[in-house]
Amino acid sequence: MNSGRTLFSQVMEFLPLPEFRKCVARYQGEYKVQRFSCLDQFLCMAFAQLTYRESLRDIEAVLRAAQSKLYHMGIRSRISRSTLADANENRDWRIYADLAQILIAEARSLYASEDFGVQLDQTAYALDSTVIDLCLSLFPWAKFRKRKGAVKMHTLLDLRGSVPTLVIITPGKVHDVNILDELPFEPGAIYIMDRGYVDFARLYKLTLASAFFITRAKKNFQFKRLYSQTVDRLSGVQCDQIITLKSYYPKKAYSEKLRRIRYCDPETGKRLVYLTNNFVLPAETIAQLFRCRWQVELFFKWIKQHLRIKSFYGTSENAVKTQIWIAIAVYVLVAIIKKRLLLKISLYTILQILSVHLFEKSSLLQALSQVDYVIPEGDDCMQLTLFDL
């Protein structure tokens, strides 16, 4: 890679620019725009994500100080916080959502063979949401509670590589279970979710799509046992039952058989009850798959700590969604770079290096491969699989 270019321009070289231009044209992102293009907007916001800028004024100050380098970074316009604020306010957030989906598709193909701890032929997804708190007086559209505003980021995470395959951003008051209506179920795939998603009418639609689910049973769950299967209690599985629903409305919504597995975690002693429509996988594998659902929680924790999605540069719904989608695009772009360059360091380390060296003119591969830093023993226990490779 050309060492005469800044690290930032070398990072952005991995962007699929022809596809990005199609996204811009699809939503008329540059209609009557003369100077500050959608690419300029994306590059400024990506720079803010990579260098942890706190505000629009912060972005403006840093980029204006490096005015002579902006052209070589791909930014063709003079940076103004009012111009950037107007772009975030008015340009359709779906431009950057579509770009993120293009990058996600590339990342999934790169990480398709990754091991996530369970030997499985099918694709496994973890579904969950995280709440991003907002001030209701500044974000009146983000209704959550009576005196509190928030948005929810509903995420479907591919467990191979911890790549977010689908992200839906809603006001905080939208219940998690409603997202099942918007998911395009993949035949043969396994969807792992907590008991907040238990709605038997919706789960039955998932079954009709030839997909599988693994979830937890609610405390007041009523069922009728048809028969039990032999289990190895030393593995932690206490019972493996074939059941039908007992209550009137749940049974009317889901009339077919289900599988109920009671599992006692050998490490914590906690007892969990799983429900699934998969009758083929061993009970121990079902329990292991549900434990892998924790990867989506780690994903939420990681992006909140290392990307700018907790404080926002604008207050409109469009500005908030634009910032979140660009943050996701940057996350996936760095994951692609990690795989393309065959880097062994964690994604956290890559972001830390880039945050202080983006203006330097050296080879990206050299800058990211000549690293002596090793994560201290015990500090990687909460790292996602993607970040440890």
CA 129 vs CA 152, 171, 293: distances in Å = 6, 12, 12
**pLDDT by residue (tens digit) across 250-289?**
899 999 999 999 998 877 788 899 999 999 999 999 999 9
pLDDT in tens, 72-111: 777 877 888 899 999 999 999 999 999 999 999 999 888 8
Q: How would residue 378 be classed by pLDDT, with cut points 50, 70 and 90?
A: very low
Q: What is the mean pLDDT of the chain?
A: 87
Question: In the predicted model, is pLDDT for residue 383 greater than 80?
Answer: no
Cα–chain center distance at 179:
15
pLDDT of 120 reads 83
pLDDT in tens, 314-352: 889 999 999 999 999 999 999 999 999 988 888 888 888
pLDDT of residue 373: 52
Mean pLDDT of 137-160: 89
Residue 382 confidence (pLDDT):
43
Res 366: pLDDT: 87
Q: At 124, give phi and psi (nearest 5°).
A: -120, 130
Class of residue 303 by CB neighbours under 10 A (exposed 0-12, middle 13-18, buried 19+) = buried
- The whole-number pLDDT of residue 2 equals 52
Most confident range, picked from 33-42, 189-198, 301-310: 189-198
- In the chain, what are the domains? 7-96+314-388 (no CATH), 195-276 (2.20.25)
pLDDT exceeds 50 at position 300: yes
Which residues lie closer than 8 Å to 69 by C-beta, 6 or more apart? Answer: 6, 359
Residue-wise pLDDT for 236-251, tens only, equals 889 999 999 998 998 9
